[in-house]
Amino acid sequence: MTRCPCEEEVLAKIRPTPEEQAYVRAIGQRLIEAVERSGMAKAMMVGSVARDTFVRGDRDLDIFMLFDPALSREELQEQGLSLAHRIAEEFGATWREKYAEHPYVNATIDSLDIDLVPCYAVPSATEIKSAVDRTPFHTRYILAHIDGYTDDVLLAKQFTKAGGVYGSDHMTEGFSGYLCEVLTIYYGGFRPLLLAAARWRPGEVIDIEEHGAKRFEDPLVVIDPVDPERNVAAALSTSRMFEFVELARGYLAEPSVAFFCRPPSPPLTREVFSRLLAARGTHLFSITFATPDYTPDTVVPQLRKSAGSIRELLERSGFPVNRIDVCMGEERCMLLFELMAGTVPAMRRHIGPPVSSKGNAGKFLEKYVREEVFAGPYVEDGRYVVEIARPFTRAADLLRSNALFDVALGKHVRGSMQQGWTVRAGAECWDEEFAGFLSGFLERSSPLARIWRTTRR
Amino acid sequence: MTRCPCEEEVLAKIRPTPEEQAYVRAIGQRLIEAVERSGMAKAMMVGSVARDTFVRGDRDLDIFMLFDPALSREELQEQGLSLAHRIAEEFGATWREKYAEHPYVNATIDSLDIDLVPCYAVPSATEIKSAVDRTPFHTRYILAHIDGYTDDVLLAKQFTKAGGVYGSDHMTEGFSGYLCEVLTIYYGGFRPLLLAAARWRPGEVIDIEEHGAKRFEDPLVVIDPVDPERNVAAALSTSRMFEFVELARGYLAEPSVAFFCRPPSPPLTREVFSRLLAARGTHLFSITFATPDYTPDTVVPQLRKSAGSIRELLERSGFPVNRIDVCMGEERCMLLFELMAGTVPAMRRHIGPPVSSKGNAGKFLEKYVREEVFAGPYVEDGRYVVEIARPFTRAADLLRSNALFDVALGKHVRGSMQQGWTVRAGAECWDEEFAGFLSGFLERSSPLARIWRTTRR
């Protein structure tokens, strides 16, 4: 398949230079030799550098140190870190310990960002002891199958990056690098991948090694070629999946370099934000609090869960919600709620049991005949209905109340909010620290809509 | 079964006096003889007077004139009306022609209200040519089965009347006199009827003559003993059915004359109405227009249909509705809408096709990328969503617009509204002509709740 000119144009910009490749590989090779010289572990390069699928300039180096699986977790941790420290020192690096599933060392050597990660040298990916043990198998699998597709993977990565759907972190919920590689290999190139994706449906299943494996509930299921029990696309949300689908269709209909360049979107100013919000006529509320001291992959899902629970509380309380979103900043987190009504009538309808349900109906009537009500109980379609007072007629009062702690907040979010939280309404939600987030909320568009609006005007 | 003292007390007040019975029967007998003397038709008394099941003072007399079924409709109408005129004149009555399914004569003789109704003397109720032909069969059936239950039927009628569930007209949607009679006979008295009703469920089926007949979708199905194809309770709504159920339970738990006396409920004043409405905090709107020149049984269902369609229009347009009701006055009709929001944001969410539906998704995106929108199209759970401007942000503007004519209004309601309609909001909805209706709307309660509130305070 010949490439269209725009793909060649893009590749010329993103393909790593031979000098860059040689340089990174040379450093990697020296680090591997240093690890193996210690006699404590084997070593290998993993990640995009190992596969030559890194985009120019984006050359983080991952060195995995493979220890004997007979070691205990504690021994692995101790020996792994001590070896990593030693090597970092030997290379004159600045370094620090970091924690994912277990600790590793992040070092800077000759301006390269390098991770030194201890793991178990298990015989097969189905026998891993922790998620990092799987990584070497991914690298081996891709190296064995990538022949001829290196440029295609680069295009797929740049395409998903520019479209805002690259990254399997919890904030993005998009495509990981490994997923881009597996899909490109499976379909046989970048263009065939797009042709297939243009026809994806929710629940699409891709089983490259024909494992015929277990069933997943995810929107896209890509059985890991090295582990039938794992869905490579588990982190992908339905939204990101179908944003990729629309991008694929849009690109196939009209290929252009625009699909490989994330257009700059400068944040709004306070004034424009305020004007746009007033035009919408909706009721915006923000909740901010100190960012819990955990990684984004811990905090972001808790922010989402908390915002979802508060959304339900708002809707149960009579405030219809248009959209919500969350943002984890360095210092503070923001939960954002856009409501269709900021105040609601004092009266709320409370639906009781069917009158035919004798015991419950009697209790309901007894209770409300004695209480102050606006109207009822009356019978509507065979059920009792009573019209009573609601505790909060203003959303701001509800959001400022302790009722928030009655709903399912994420653990660390709850902890942070117990130290205090701030509720702001309308244009007052504007906050320079969250300028990009607030702007993106009001200007939300799918990636293809954004590209079309930029290129067709 | 011995009666409780309150039932005896009620019967002493509502049982027709022997003098009253003899007097009405004598007039009825003279009318029957006059009809039969003509040689044109047989005659019979029907209705509650014929069955001795009328409540004291409520002694409208129905004389049916049974003509040869070989007559054409036109002949029946011509001969029936001419005979009725002649008899009314002979008795020195004031009279006028009226129309139900076909015309009849309504006369006043010795201060009695008398209907002279021509019908066909068909051999069986399953061979009727129009609904009135069935009435003589009902009378014959009840007369043959009512022995010993006359007082029970009187109690059942007074109980349903006081509870506001008596009457099969379209406004009430309650129990007809014939339905009260059939139920009392079927269950074997007033008390057994209440005991059974206390356990009714939606879709209850009563088939007194074990016709095992066709299936009905109504909340209560009482197969007509004289016609297996007919549900005697067809006009009964689920609400009235279960108001009767709660009344039955309430009465059985604590029998009292309160269940036989409709408590007077004086209408609110304009000031109290205004205060109650303000406390609710809801947004009330009335639509008034000239009452179409048709009978309530034609107009009321059209009012309900129109109000229901306008309710859907309001909800589709973003205005959540708590309750609606309709009232047919002498001069004007009123449709009443209580909304949870009188104004809504300019922005509305418009949900598009799933992105996986390729053709529709493409068209949707093409369309909205070209239009002015607040946000979107964006992808949410795999579907496109776009945030656009809505035509009406104020419910009053919508209700004053011609958009009302785009929904299914009843034919005569549409005709009347085309001559003009008035929209009022909030306390301005108050209107002395509709004082009772507006008061009942705000103070809506089930009959048992009302009795308990009166008797237990």
Distance of residue B99 Cα from the nearest chain A Cα, in angstroms = 33
B355/A281 Cβ within 8 A: no
Report pLDDT for B300: 94
Report pLDDT for A447: 93
Chain A contact probe: residue of B241, B247, B355 with most A CBs at under 10 A: B355
Calculate what percentage of chain B has a pLDDT beyond 70. Answer: 99
- Measured distance CA(A134)–CA(A125) in Å, rounded: 5
Show residues of chain B in contact with A352, CB under 8 Å: none
Show residues of chain A in contact with B375, CB under 8 Å: 442-445
Give yes or no for residue B421 having a pLDDT over 80: yes
φ and ψ of A434, to 5 deg: -115, 25
Q: Are B87 and B33 in contact (CB under 8 A)?
A: no
Q: Which helix (H) or strand (E) holds A315?
A: helix A296-316
Q: Tell me, what's the ipTM?
A: 0.88
Band the pLDDT of A457: cuts 50, 70, 90: low
CA B421 to chain CA mean position, Å: 25
Distance of residue B53 Cα from the nearest chain A Cα, in angstroms = 29
Q: What is the mean pLDDT of chain A?
A: 92
Q: Which helix (H) or strand (E) holds B423?
A: strand B422-425
φ and ψ of B227, to 5 deg: -160, 100
A384/B446 Cβ within 8 A: yes
- The string of pLDDT tens digits covering residues A123-145 is 888 888 888 899 999 999 999 99
Give yes or no for residue A161 having a pLDDT over 90: yes
Q: Which helix (H) or strand (E) holds B162?
A: helix B150-162
Give yes or no for residue A456 having a pLDDT over 90: no
| Strands B112-120 vs B61-67: parallel, antiparallel or unpaired | parallel
Token duo for residue B294: 């048709």
Q: Which residues of A are annotated as a binding site?
A: 48, 51, 60, 62, 115, 138, 157, 166
Q: Which helix (H) or strand (E) holds A380?
A: strand A375-380
Report pLDDT for A102: 78
Band the pLDDT of B90: cuts 50, 70, 90: confident
Report pLDDT for A88: 87
Give yes or no for residue B14 having a pLDDT over 80: yes
A356/B245 Cβ within 8 A: yes
* Contacts of A191 by beta carbon, 8 Å cutoff, 6+ apart: A1, A3, A152
- The string of pLDDT tens digits covering residues B133-180 is 999 999 999 999 999 999 999 999 999 999 999 999 999 999 999 999
Band the pLDDT of A208: cuts 50, 70, 90: confident
Report pLDDT for B102: 78
**Amino acid occupying residue A397:** D
Tokens 């399914």 -> residue = B101
Q: Are B53 and B177 in contact (CB under 8 A)?
A: yes
Chain A contact probe: residue of B194, B242, B442 with most A CBs at under 10 A: B242
- The string of pLDDT tens digits covering residues A77-115 is 899 999 999 998 888 888 888 877 778 888 888 888 899
Mean pLDDT of B86-95: 86
* Contacts of A378 by beta carbon, 8 Å cutoff, 6+ apart: A384, A385, A386, B444, B445, B446, B449
* Domains of chain B, CATH where assigned: 15-131 (3.30.460.10), 150-260 (1.10.1410.30), 270-343+393-446 (3.30.70.590), 347-389 (3.30.70)
* Residue A44, Cβ density class (10 Å: 0-12 exposed, 13-18 middle, ≥19 buried): buried
Give the closest residue to B160 by CA, choosing from B96, B241, B80. B241
> Which among B361, B375, B448 has the least Cβ separation from residue A443?
B375
Cβ count near B8 (within 10 Å): 11
A378/B446 Cβ within 8 A: yes
Report pLDDT for A54: 87
- The string of pLDDT tens digits covering residues B288-339 is 999 999 989 899 999 999 999 999 999 999 999 999 999 999 999 999 999 9
Q: What is the mean pLDDT of chain B?
A: 92
Give yes or no for residue B96 having a pLDDT over 90: no
Show residues of chain A in contact with B449, CB under 8 Å: 365, 368-369, 376-378
Show residues of chain A in contact with B320, CB under 8 Å: 320
Report pLDDT for B213: 59
Band the pLDDT of B457: cuts 50, 70, 90: low
Show residues of chain A in contact with B354, CB under 8 Å: 202, 242
* Contacts of B114 by beta carbon, 8 Å cutoff, 6+ apart: B27, B31, B60, B61, B62, B63, B93, B106, B107, B108
Q: Which residues of A are annotated as a binding site for CTP?
A: 48, 51, 138, 157, 166
Could you please report the per-residue DSSP string of A133-201?
GGHHHHHHHHHHH-TT-HHHHHHHHHHHHHTT-B--STTT--B-HHHHHHHHHHHTSHHHHHHHHTT--
Contacts 24+ apart (CB under 8 A), B92-99: B99/B295
- Measured distance CA(A140)–CA(A118) in Å, rounded: 17
Give the closest residue to B400 by CA, choosing from B417, B387, B382, B386. B417
> Which among A238, A347, A384 has the least Cβ separation from residue B280?
A347
Q: Which helix (H) or strand (E) holds B348?
A: strand B347-354
Q: Are B454 and B445 in contact (CB under 8 A)?
A: no
- Measured distance CA(A320)–CA(B455) in Å, rounded: 40
Give yes or no for residue A307 having a pLDDT over 90: yes
Give yes or no for residue A277 having a pLDDT over 80: yes
- The string of pLDDT tens digits covering residues A221-271 is 999 999 888 999 999 999 999 999 999 999 999 999 999 998 778 899 999
Report pLDDT for A55: 86
CA B398 to chain CA mean position, Å: 29
A340/B340 Cβ within 8 A: no
Chain B contact probe: residue of A236, A355, A390 with most B CBs at under 10 A: A355
B279/A374 Cβ within 8 A: yes
Distance of residue B304 Cα from the nearest chain A Cα, in angstroms = 15
> Which among B238, B347, B369 has the least Cβ separation from residue A381?
B238
A322/B320 Cβ within 8 A: no
- Measured distance CA(A273)–CA(A285) in Å, rounded: 14
Give the closest residue to A171 by CA, choosing from A294, A301, A271. A301
Show residues of chain B in contact with A245, CB under 8 Å: 355-356
Calculate what percentage of chain A has a pLDDT beyond 90. Answer: 73
Could you please report the per-residue DSSP string of B293-342?
SS-HHHHHHHHHHHHHHHHHHHHHTT--EEEEEEEE-SSEEEEEEEES-S
Show residues of chain A in contact with B242, CB under 8 Å: 354-356, 379, 382
CB pairs below 8 Å between A and B: how many? 164
Report pLDDT for A213: 59
Report pLDDT for B128: 87
Give the closest residue to B119 by CA, choosing from B77, B89, B88. B77
Compare all CA atoms of chain B with the CA of A452 and give the residue at the minimum distance: B369
Q: Are A258 and A158 in contact (CB under 8 A)?
A: no
Which range is least confidently modeled, A161-165, A269-273, A293-297, A309-313? A293-297
Show residues of chain B in contact with A345, CB under 8 Å: 280-283, 340
Read off the DSSP letter of residue A394: B
Compare all CA atoms of chain A with the CA of B380 and give the residue at the minimum distance: A239
Q: Which residues of A are annotated as a binding site for Mg(2+)?
A: 60, 62, 115
- Measured distance CA(B319)–CA(B342) in Å, rounded: 7
Give the closest residue to A412 by CA, choosing from A285, A334, A300. A300
Tokens 């006059």 -> residue = B34
- The string of pLDDT tens digits covering residues A365-422 is 999 999 999 998 999 999 999 999 999 999 999 999 999 999 999 999 999 999 999 9
Show residues of chain A in contact with B238, CB under 8 Å: 379, 381-382
Q: Are A413 and A225 in contact (CB under 8 A)?
A: no
Calculate what percentage of chain B has a pLDDT beyond 90. Answer: 72
> Which among B358, B375, B380 has the least Cβ separation from residue A239?
B380
Show residues of chain A in contact with B202, CB under 8 Å: 354, 356, 382
Q: Are A81 and A98 in contact (CB under 8 A)?
A: no
> Which among A280, A345, A349 has the least Cβ separation from residue B347?
A280
**Amino acid occupying residue A90:** E
A377/B445 Cβ within 8 A: yes
Give yes or no for residue B261 having a pLDDT over 80: yes
Q: Are B352 and B384 in contact (CB under 8 A)?
A: yes
